[in-house]
Structure 1
Amino acid sequence: MLSQTRIRDLLALAALAAAAAWLLVRSMYGSLPPIPVYAGASLYPVAVIEVILAFLIRSRVSKHEIGDGPGRLHPITAARAVALAKASALVGAASTGIWVGFLVYLVPQRGVVQAATDDTSGVVVGAVAGIALTAAALWLEYCCRTPEDPDEPNEPAV
């Protein structure tokens, strides 16, 4: 059985990615191309798709429409959605960390370097996209949980 994705693991990944990105940007910023506003926006459609998928799966789970047959959600599909959610949470956390690393470098440079001011909006869009993907992935993972069976006794196993 897979365990639920831990927030602290995602935060640790984001912090590691932020530190690595900051170090790289600090030493190579002058040779990087400008960052367009839409640079990190590619994560938004994935986040939207995962939110829609989460609501669909949540609806099927709450109606007990899981299993083989027409109009039912196949268990393998739910397992694939969990795998997608776990992978997306990691990608979102890493992306957030990278964009935050850029941001940590750019904010102090805004008064000195015009390129830093120009790049900030693209970096913010990317950071928010990473956060949105991570949140959508965690929501999808949550919606894929199996409901408690009300017929089972609440006694501990012996």
Structure 2
Amino acid sequence: MRPTSRRLLVALAVLGTAVGWTIIGAIESNGGVAPSLSWLTPVAWAFLAALLFAAARNTHQRIQLRRERMEPSRAVFLLMLAKASAIVGALCTGVYAGFALRFVDALSVAGPRNRVVAAGITAAISVLVVVAGLLLERACRIPEDGADVP
């Protein structure tokens, strides 16, 4: 299995930005009001990022440093979790960035300013999810001198 492509992640972030921008535009053009973001969203993303960083550190220590053997099903689970986190994190980074960018021109008003701040913070934390996913993916690699693994 190949490492997750950085180009794919950038493309997903760009696509997500377009989606976030377009969704808000569609809501407002049809007479609707753009939703406000709950502060629970960045908290949940931060919790996910922390779990992924912890899993990456633990996996790196087990496989790369202590050269322990890992059950194949657990390794596959961690690898799929890593890839999914990086991909979904990149897409969400873009969506929240697009959401924030849609309201940048109205920062003088409290409602849009709150949306920009909440979406910007969530986008930044989504980048942490991507980084943690990539670190976990990298930690799942079998060491080069695989013959020494018990």
TM bucket (normalised to shorter chain) is 0.7 to 0.9
TM-score by length of 2: 0.87
Distance of 1:110 and 1:3 partners within structure 2: 43
1:101 counterpart = 2:98: yes
Deviation of 1:150 (Å): 7.3
Residues 150, 22 of structure 1: alpha-carbon distance in 2 compared, 3 angstrom cutoff = closer
Equivalent residue, structure 1, for 2:68 = 65
Answer whether contact 2:13 2:95 (CA < 8 A) is retained.
Answer: yes
Residues 108, 59 of structure 1: alpha-carbon distance in 2 compared, 3 angstrom cutoff = same
SS at match of 2:38: coil
Which piece of structure 1 moves more, 28-37 or 92-101?
28-37
Equivalent residue, structure 2, for 1:123 = 119
Larger gyration radius, structure 1 or structure 2: 1
Residues 54, 39 of structure 1: alpha-carbon distance in 2 compared, 3 angstrom cutoff = closer
Deviations 1:27-49 (A, max 9, x none): 32451232233333311111111
Which piece of structure 1 moves more, 84-93 or 101-110?
101-110
Structure having the higher helix fraction is: 2
Answer whether contact 1:37 1:125 (CA < 8 A) is retained.
Answer: no
RMSD across aligned positions (CA): 1.9
Answer whether contact 1:17 1:98 (CA < 8 A) is retained.
Answer: yes
1:80 counterpart = 2:77: yes
- Count of aligned positions: 144
Listed as ranges, the gaps of 5+ residues in structure 1 are 67-72, 153-158
| Misfit runs of 4+, over 2 Å | 32-41
Percent of aligned positions that are identical: 29
Distance of 1:49 and 1:143 partners within structure 2: 14
1:139 counterpart = 2:135: yes
Deviation of 1:138 (Å): 0.3
1:18 counterpart = 2:17: yes
Answer whether contact 1:37 1:121 (CA < 8 A) is retained.
Answer: no
TM-score by length of 1: 0.83
